[in-house]
Amino acid sequence: MSFREERAAQRRQAILKTAADIFREKGYHDTTIEEIAKELKFTKASIYYYIPSKEDLLFECNDMAMNLLLKRAEAIVAEELPPDVKLRELIKQHVETLIDELSLITVLLQQEYALNEEHRQLIYAKRDRYEKFFTDVLEKGVQAGVFEEAWDPKMVKLIIFGAVNWMFHWYSKSGPLKKHEIAELFADYLLKPVIKTK
Amino acid sequence: MSFREERAAQRRQAILKTAADIFREKGYHDTTIEEIAKELKFTKASIYYYIPSKEDLLFECNDMAMNLLLKRAEAIVAEELPPDVKLRELIKQHVETLIDELSLITVLLQQEYALNEEHRQLIYAKRDRYEKFFTDVLEKGVQAGVFEEAWDPKMVKLIIFGAVNWMFHWYSKSGPLKKHEIAELFADYLLKPVIKTK
Amino acid sequence: MSFREERAAQRRQAILKTAADIFREKGYHDTTIEEIAKELKFTKASIYYYIPSKEDLLFECNDMAMNLLLKRAEAIVAEELPPDVKLRELIKQHVETLIDELSLITVLLQQEYALNEEHRQLIYAKRDRYEKFFTDVLEKGVQAGVFEEAWDPKMVKLIIFGAVNWMFHWYSKSGPLKKHEIAELFADYLLKPVIKTK
Amino acid sequence: MSFREERAAQRRQAILKTAADIFREKGYHDTTIEEIAKELKFTKASIYYYIPSKEDLLFECNDMAMNLLLKRAEAIVAEELPPDVKLRELIKQHVETLIDELSLITVLLQQEYALNEEHRQLIYAKRDRYEKFFTDVLEKGVQAGVFEEAWDPKMVKLIIFGAVNWMFHWYSKSGPLKKHEIAELFADYLLKPVIKTK
DNA sequence: GATGAATGAGGTTTCATTCAT
DNA sequence: AATGAATGAAACCTCATTCAT
């Protein structure tokens, strides 16, 4: 990548991050390209040198968020771990990614319906892949006899995602709990019902 | 209420319901007054005979949703029940209300940021009141020794709401589980970690 | 006139007066039929039983104002009086009518441009007739040798009307001067330059 | 000022002048942004590149008119002149400014009530400052013994403004009198009653 | 007579996007 | 690379007016 291209890529990143911050704060529709530009000390027109459209900006935010989640989850899935430990790691990773990239993930969770059809499908495909990591582990755990077979893995996945994703509504850096504490807490609570007790 | 007034009230209700349906489907900003009107076989201007503004329509949806939740929760809270049973009822009622009034509650959960400041405060006030029912019961349960004291009631409340509210993303009438089954399932799963076992 | 017709005529009058008051306060365009109705404790639709249109309401105000001015001026013109006295009376009458019917005359002076073409012509015709009373007296006075011939009657008329009509901008019932005092003052000031001194 | 900025400023000026012309002709409310745009061979939206709102356009017209009057009057007030000469100059200047900037001043005199509260206050403040130039000179003249003490300066000011401002109703470029002739004529007529004769 | 309900017609404003420079 | 200028398209909202009851 040439120096030129690299700088352009950096600019793109900066635009995406800023867009995500503002999208998170005000919602996609209440954010104007002008605002994003002003925040970056660009002009409105300049933004269009780097991105093709506002909707594309939203898509890139969604996509970046999904890629982050996928990459981290894939690393965990690749490890050799018992199902209960793996699920715990997946949950903790999700919580921590959400906190690390609050704006990006919030946009992913909150603004999906503003995507156009094509982009939505692309995101849904990745999301399905991501969610499958959870159901797969749950199924494995049932087969391995460490998880209660009473709970449908699909349902458990939905409960877990609901509980965890809701965080974007209330998480605050200045809250009493640290990132890892929250992650542990969620993992403990959400695993409790499925772990088989002797 | 006179015949006239009653019909007008019904019309208002119909507008709210239709608006909620479309808001849910496409989001507040991607819904035009024209669409709502067309759906009701009204003209755009006629809508404005019944409501003062589009934002007001959104507020009314939010408010009606909150009122429903509050009314049902108040009935439960008023009963003489042990904390664990009461919490179970509160959860079940929440799930069932969400299913009964999917559009209204989805709008409440999804479109809040489009409210203006004044309206948002009104909704937040009711929401806080509603959520307090849950933390109160949790605290009572801890005091009564039926709930684990390890879990912070605020945190448990957030987990419960997250898990349950997430339903608007996936619930479908044609799904395999019936309303009451889902309600029981959620109550079981979410109560499990807090219930003290001997 | 039957009782019915009489009551209708009274209603019309009331509507005109109220309309004039509000037109004066907020201007024709910023006044809605609804406001006029509310002030009269009517409904919007009821107004239309008595008047054909909003513009017509404006015209009737203008017309009533002109008729008042004309009637009072005609009475003065009909008297046998020397030109200087007659002019003085005309000025005083104008001032006093303006004060007596502040809303009506203000509408006449301020909102003329909102009339439609046809109505404007009708008002202009009356206005021209009214103004001619002033130029006629001025010309008679010059011929009679009581007025300076140096001043063009048309010009003097414009100065007089300007000075006097401006009153609607500043006149207030609670001001320090009484109606007659103002009238005398204007007559004194405005006649001074034209009266021939020996 | 750069070339760019200068051209933008010129465009703004052009919009204001054109707006003033049309406001004068048809009144503020009967003028649409579209009409102003069409006259300038702009599109409606382009107008909004230069001005924030229609009401703002009106305010700028008012403000520019007041600034013109103030600037010219201040120059006269700054001179060392006897009160009667100074008043004469103030009147002449007012007449001539009105003729030079007929549209702007007409808007100022005719459309004030369409301003919003905040803007109205700003204009009133300038107007009060402007009118004070006249009452000050009148008071000085009374003290200096060149003006009759019988006339209240406030009242004289109102008569002068009334007579002169009325011009926007009748002045026409094609009229028989030239600008300076009208100015002299007004000054002569309106000063006559106040000048003390030995 | 009176009015609740309905609407056509239009106006202001916003904004993503384009393009010449 | 960057941007000032321009605009098409659309959305919200208002209101005078009508009409069935």
DSSP category for residue A52: S
Nearest to D29 among C29, C158, C193 (CB): C29
Give SS3 for D173.
Answer: coil
Whether any strand E atom is under 7 angstroms from the Cβ of B29: the reply reads: no
Per-residue pLDDT tens over the stretch A3-24: 778 888 899 999 999 999 999 9
Residue range C170-196, pLDDT digits in tens? 999 999 999 999 999 999 999 999 999
pLDDT at B38 over 80: yes
* pLDDT for residue B65: 98
Indicate the average pLDDT of chain D.
Answer: 96
Q: What is the distance, to the nearest Å, from the Cα of residue A148 to the centroid of all Cα atoms in its chain?
A: 28
Per-residue pLDDT of C126-149, as tens digits, reads 999 999 999 999 999 999 999 999
CB-based contact A134:A164 (threshold 8 Å): no
What's the domain range around B142?
54-191
Q: Which residues of D90-114 are buried (b: 16+ CB within 10 A; e: fewer)?
A: bbbbbbebbbebbbbbbbbbbbbeb
Q: Is residue A78 situated within a structural domain?
A: yes
Closest CA to B159 of A187, D22, A130: A187
Q: Do chains A and C touch (3 or more CB pairs under 8 A)?
A: no
Q: Is the pLDDT of residue B192 over 70?
A: yes
**Residue A167 lies inside a defined structural domain of this protein:** yes
Q: What is the pLDDT of residues D73-116, one digit of tens each?
A: 999 999 999 999 999 999 999 999 999 999 999 999 999 889 99
Q: What is the pLDDT of residues D155-181, one digit of tens each?
A: 999 999 999 999 999 999 999 999 999
B2 pLDDT band, cuts 50/70/90, is confident
Would residue C162 count as lying in a domain? yes
Let me know if chains C and D touch, i.e. at least 3 Cβ pairs under 8 angstroms: yes
Asked if the structure places residue B177 within a domain, the reply is yes
Mean pLDDT for chain B overall: 96
pLDDT at A6: 84
- CA torsion sign, D44 to D34 to D62 to D180? positive
CB A58 within 8 A of CB A103: no
**Which pLDDT score, from 0 to 100, does residue A1 have?**
65
- The Å distance, CA of C34 to C1' of F10, is 29
pLDDT-based confidence at residue C6 (cuts at 50, 70, 90):
confident
Residue D123's pLDDT is what?
98
Protein D32 CA to nucleic acid E11 C1', in Å?
Answer: 7
Closest residue to F2 (CA to C1') is A46
The CATH number of the domain holding residue C77 is 1.10.357.10
- Whether A156 and B29 lie within 8 Å, measured CB to CB: no
Distance B45 CA to E7 C1' (A): 6
CB of B14 nearer than 7 A to strand E? no
The reported pLDDT for the residue numbered C198 is: 66
C53 beta carbon to strand E: under 7 Å: no
Please identify residues in chain C, positions 129-168, with a C-beta within 7 angstroms of any atom of strand F: none
Look up the protein residue whose alpha carbon has the minimum distance to the C1' of F19.
C45
Please name the residue of chain C whose CA is at the shortest distance from the CA of residue D164. C162
Range of weakest confidence among B3-7, B36-40, B84-88, B176-180: B3-7
Phi, psi of B162 (to 5 degrees): -60, -55
D11 falls within a domain = no
Angle at alpha carbon of residue B67, lines to B61 and B72, rounded to 5°? 135
Q: If pLDDT is split at 50, 70 and 90, which confidence band does C7 have?
A: confident
The residues with which D147 forms a beta bridge, in sequence order, are D195
Confidence of residue D198 (pLDDT cuts 50, 70, 90): low
D41-56 burial code (b ≥16 CB/10 A, e <16): ebeeeebeebbeebee
Is C14 inside any structural domain? no
Q: Tell me the nt nearest to B35, Cα to C1'.
A: F11
Nearest residue, CA→C1' of F21: B4
Count of domains in chain B?
1
Give the nearest nucleotide to C3, CA to C1'. E1
Q: pTM to 2 decimals?
A: 0.93
C vs D: CB pairs below 8 A: 75
Q: How does pLDDT run across A140-176, given as a tens digit for each residue?
A: 999 999 999 999 999 999 999 999 999 999 999 999 9
At A198 the pLDDT is 65
Query: Nearest protein residue to F10's C1' (by CA)?
Result: B32
Q: Which residues from the 32-71 window of protein chain A have CB within 7 angstroms of nucleic acid chain E?
A: 32-34, 44-45, 48, 52-55
Of D162, D159, D164, the C-alpha closest to D138 is: D159
Residue A59 within a domain: yes
Residues of chain D contacting C28 with CB distance shorter than 8 Å: 29
Arithmetic mean of pLDDT over chain A: 96
pLDDT of residue B3: 79
Nearest residue to A103 via CA among A159, A45, A34, A39: A39
- For residue C5, what pLDDT band results from cuts at 50, 70 and 90? confident
**pLDDT beyond 90 at A31:** yes
Residue A165 lies in a domain: yes
The pLDDT, as a whole number, for residue D1 is 62
